[in-house]
Structure 1
Amino acid sequence: MANRYEQIAADLRKQIEDGALPAAARLPSESALALHHRVGLPTVRHALNVLQAEGLIEKRHGRGNFVRAMGQKVEYVNDRTRRAAQPPGPDGSSLERALDDSSEVTVSCCEIRANDELASRMNVQVETRLLEFSYRGRRPKDEAPYSIVRSYLLYAMVAPTPTPLTSTASPWGNEYVHWLTAAGIELDHVVERLTARPPSAREAAELGISPGVAVIAIQRTSYDTHDTVVETADLVMSGDRVAAVYSTPCARTRQPC
């Protein structure tokens, strides 16, 4: 027989799945739930913790527990470098931007020195000058960004700072393709290593992630035609707001299967 907290969690879960408790609805107070189920507050809190860990509800300090709204996910697709390489339209837009036109992107840039990890990833000496570009993609209705991207380029390769850094940038930080092309560097291939994991404390705070929600973490490495690393990036995305979509070319048609 299930424990009482499991029964309470199951009852609330069913109400959420059936729509009796719709998205953004406030759950009854903990004391009301305890009275209804004839249990103590610790049992109710245990049940609510289970639902929060499953990503079904969120606790809002001083306001109570609410059903989490599951909106349409932003898609990260693996052919974005090809799309980013396409020339912009007459209005300055691009196919990639059109796919993300609901996003607000903030971009910043600073000069850093390569630490041991970045030096190893880019095959350069420690303390080599790099440019770090940070991108935060956010939907207007959300308080927190759904993705944070930090992209690294060799300072000597693209300095002075590429421009423009505007809100029309891609949330995935693909402007580097244009900058490399302008510097006479031809991009050959991109390797992406994807993992799903719990967020770090910093990531949870930056992305506004509720307990129980994982992040999609991608380490991107871009190579030129000489098999030299020309860019590396770390993409961290909220797992409940972003879907990673990958297509694989067929050998015969070279089109996505």
Structure 2
Amino acid sequence: MTRTVPSRHHDIADDLRRQITTGSIKPGERLPSESGLADQYKVSTATLRSALAILQGEGLVEKIHGKGNFVRHRPRKIMYVGGWGTLDPWTAAETALRVTDQATAIEARGHLATLLRVPTGSPLTEFLSISYEGESPHSLARIYVPGGPEPTEALGNGPSYVRTEASFAVLNALSAELRETVSARLPTPDKASVLRINPGLAVLAITRIAADTAGRVLEAALLVFPGDRVEAVFTTHHVLDERQTQG
């Protein structure tokens, strides 16, 4: 019978995991440099990075470009309320989320023209919203609205603005119909990079289309949540026959 011998990078990951779970290395704390850890464990930098990749995949360690590797705060789940297109205020408040927004003027092309039911080349405003728990990205949304941005809104590479209301709510109050398509899938490389998650971690992707009574699309939103940080709740209200309620 062949016995599998744990590789060195698994041993290192086990040791670092133990230090994290026992509190020897606390949430938010920066780990020693990769070269320093490699010297400490007497391994190559490549082996050390393989160990860190395991912990990053487990959500225990987060690598921030130009800063180093940090112990992640334990992600707490928030609730996405289907039909309202927003985050539950109670769970969002518990995680102390803040949201950055940036508006950009673009043209409708490809799938965006199809989603918004507008001719190719029509002016759109894209709102890029990223929510953060502390300094860690929690979720992201790209919200598209027909027409150009208001003069007061940031354009192009202009500065983002920050709000403390953790919501990706429908922007137009005149919407009469809200259709949401929910799927679980692996993130694209760019989304994994923005959210600082392992590309192997499934995300909850929600496409939300808001339309008015005439069927004109008022907003198309593409929302992405790491699967370990959100629960989506949809409630259906049945309309009772008035004769039944009076019987």
Same fold (TM over 0.5): yes
| Residue type of the alignment partner of 1:193 | V
CA RMSD of aligned residues (A): 3.9
Asked if residue 33 in structure 1 is aligned to residue 22 in structure 2, the reply is no
| Residue 176 of structure 1, aligned match among 137, 150, 171 | 171
Alpha-carbon distance between aligned partners in 2 of 1:119 and 1:63, rounded to the nearest angstrom? 39
Whether the 8 Å contact between 1:74 and 1:243 is mirrored in structure 2 is yes
Residue 173 and residue 248 in structure 1: after superposition, are their counterparts in 2 closer, same or farther (change >3 A)?
A: closer
Tell me, yes or no, if the aligned pair for 2:37 and 2:48 is still in contact at 8 Å: no
Q: Give 1:197-216 correspondences, 5 Å limit.
A: 197-201=186-190, 203-209=191-197, 213-216=201-204
Query: Which whole-Å CA distance do the structure 1 matches of 2:101 and 2:49 have between them?
Result: 40
Distance 2:65 2:105 in 1: 38
Within the candidate set 126, 145, 153, 2:145 is matched to 153
**1:2 and 2:5 matched:** yes
Tell me the number of residue pairs that the alignment of Structure 1 and Structure 2 aligns: 224
Query: Matched residues, percent identical?
Result: 31
| Equivalent position of 2:116 in the other structure | 122
- In terms of fraction of residues, the more strand-rich structure is 2
- Retained in 2: the 8 A contact 1:113–1:129? yes
Residue 163 of structure 1 and its aligned partner are, at CA, apart by 8.2
Name 1:249's counterpart in structure 2.
Answer: 236
What does 1:41-190 correspond to in 2, within 5 Å? 43-59=47-63, 65-81=69-85, 100-101=92-93, 102-139=96-133, 141-142=134-135, 144-155=136-147, 161=150, 167-168=162-163, 171-178=166-173, 181=174, 186-190=175-179
How far residue 244 of structure 1 moved from its aligned partner, in angstroms, is 3.0
Pair 1:194-2:183 in alignment: yes
1:7 CA drift (Å): 4.0
Report the residue type matching 2:219 in the other structure: E
Question: 1:52 aligns to what SS in structure 2?
Answer: helix
Long gaps (5+) in structure 1 = 85-94
Counterparts of 1:206 and 1:225, CA distance in 2: 36
**Equivalent residue, structure 2, for 1:89:** none
Q: Deviations over 1:145-179 (max 9, x none)?
A: 43332212222xxx78398997558544324232x
Secondary structure of the corresponding residue to residue 184 of structure 2: strand
Whole-Å Cα distance in 2 between the matches of residues 152 and 103 of structure 1? Answer: 22
Following superposition, the deviation at residue 232 of structure 1 comes to 0.9
Deviates more, 1:98-107 or 1:216-225: 98-107
Q: TM-score, normalised by structure 1?
A: 0.65
SS in structure 1 of the partner of residue 74 of structure 2: coil
